[in-house]
Chains A and B, each alone.
Chain A
Amino acid sequence: MRNFQHFNPASLAQATTTLSSKPDAWVIAGGIDLLGEMKNGIIQPGTLVNLKTLPNLDYIKFSESDGLRIGAMATLAKIEAHPDIRKHFTVLSQAAHSVATPQIRNVGTLGGNLCQRPRCWYYRNPAFHCLKKGGKECFSVSGENKYNAILGGGPVFIVHPSDCAPALISLGAEVTVAGPRGKRSMPLEKFFILPTENPLRENRLQAGEVVTEVHVPPFHDAGSSSSAHRSVYLKVKERGAWDFALASAAVSMETNAGMCRSVRVVLGGVAPIPWRCPQAEKTCMGKQIDEALAAEAGKASLAQAVPLGKNDYKVEMAANLIKRALLMCSASSASPR
């Protein structure tokens, strides 16, 4: 690793001013992703602005009336184990639990998980000056693309690596970012951008901005006896631990008397952004979900998929994940949430 200045800001304001005044300054949260990029020589920050010493950024607060608020510096270990998250936002605890390894989850933060950089091996390999790094070509197109995008790709074909992002989007989460000109919030879904908008970036953060909070709004009717809210995160990986998703599905559903009243379906590991599946949602709305309908929803979501040659397997895998997750969310209340 090259040397750098290490800065512990006294306040969020000081952090954002430093970040916006120094073009080679980077945020360091847990550092799990950032230090890897620095060791591989992909980025060479002149200054690291450390968020770990800022007070009150690692909270997890839940109330029935306000929903869930998580500070950007809350660790994944804390999120996966939180009793309210386990109970009311199962998809999120499962997604956080599925990240990497216990040691990494003790350090990695939610903010870092949402803002982490892609894992495409051409991007991570300093020998390739690829389009994602300002070069001319996305080498995955004609090269090794087993792990690359089947949806929303072009001109770069990375997949967004975050497990928490699809889970949170399925819950309708909002993200708050703070910058030198104050705070702003947006649906987390709108935070991520396709490479057609900017091949060098994965999100809408502007110079000096940091993620401060994620908010999951409360569910309506949670109290009524005939209605139920269930959510689930399913992730396929090559190994039992450690691995990023080959494909994953986050589904969050409200049912009333067995009918699907509202549902969000989001795929991970298949597109440059967490991939919302409106086709699946439309297929299920207002209906009782059975095996045939769930399969149809999965299939419809992948109709637009364009595999690159070595990642065709992801099409069927993602469709099946959607089907399984939908069935799990609509099963009778006796089955696991």
Chain B
Amino acid sequence: MKQRRKIRKQKAHIAFVLNGEPCEVAFAPHKTLLEVLREDLNLTGTKHGCELGECGTCAVLLDGKPVLSCLVLGLDAEGREVTTVEGMQLPEGRLHPLQETFADLGAAQCGYCTPGFLLTALELLAKNPKPTREEIAQALSGNLCRCTGYIKIYEAVELAAAHMRGEKAEVAEEVVYGLKS
């Protein structure tokens, strides 16, 4: 029988909870959580932007708190809970109210920043169901959007918050169509 060789294991192996389900993954230990999610777990909803903490598009929830996955090692997820944008959908594949209002109000254009905004807003609404405009702006101040100019994003968060509180809020007409001349 052929002799087996001893090959040193190069990869780190961790277990954590990903979008509500137990998950195990092996990866090179120097990888960031962003790289592990995208490259080793094929969850490409989390976006890869500046890689240096400057844009917020890579934000995910770690134990419920928004963090930048580009500046967290994959190893740091061991034993913890990670939520990515893929984990936001409701049963039967329905969109989360935030996803719905982002789409309806044009709060996403190219969409590259959207996952980071959605998750950061999700945590805000979990701890503060009725935030003021100022509180929304504060919470989202680490997320850059080059397309929308932010106003539509704030409006989408406000409307989703109203829906999540069970209110029958509607979009003001001028939000979608602009002011009538």
Contact = CB atoms under 8 A, between A and B. Distances in A.
Interface of A: 1-6, 28, 30-32, 35-36, 39-40, 50, 52, 77, 100-104, 106-107, 240-242
Contacts of B30: 1-4, 6
B68 A6 contact: no
Nearest to B140: A102
A3 B53 contact: no
Contact of B73 (A5, A35, A241): A35
A83 B169 CA distance: 35
A32 B68 CA distance: 9
A36 B72 contact: no
B56 to A, nearest CB: 6
B66 A6 contact: no
B40 to A, nearest CB: 15
A76 to B, nearest CB: 12
Contacts of A101: 53, 56, 141-143
B73 A242 contact: no
The majority secondary structure among interface residues of chain A is: loop
Contacts of A5: 29
A120 B71 CA distance: 20
Contact of B29 (A4, A77, A104): A4
B142 A102 contact: yes
B51 A39 contact: yes
A3 B29 contact: yes
B145 interface: no
Interface of B: 12, 28-30, 32, 51-54, 56, 59, 62, 65-68, 71-73, 75-76, 120, 138-139, 141-143
B142 A104 contact: yes
A106 B71 contact: no
12 contacts: A3-B28, A6-B12, A6-B29, A6-B73, A31-B71, A31-B72, A39-B52, A52-B76, A77-B65, A101-B141, A101-B142, A106-B65
Given A31-B73, A101-B143, A102-B141, 8 more contacts: A1-B32, A5-B29, A6-B12, A6-B73, A28-B73, A104-B71, A242-B54, A242-B142
B56 A103 contact: yes
B8 to A, nearest CB: 13
B54 A103 contact: no
A104 B53 contact: yes
Contacts of A2: 30
Nearest to A32: B71
A77 B76 CA distance: 18
Q: Which 3 A-B pairs have the closest CB atoms?
A: A101-B142, A241-B141, A106-B65
A35 B120 CA distance: 22
A102 B12 contact: no
Given A6-B73, A31-B72, A103-B120, A240 B141 contact: yes
B68 A103 contact: yes
Contacts of B143: 101
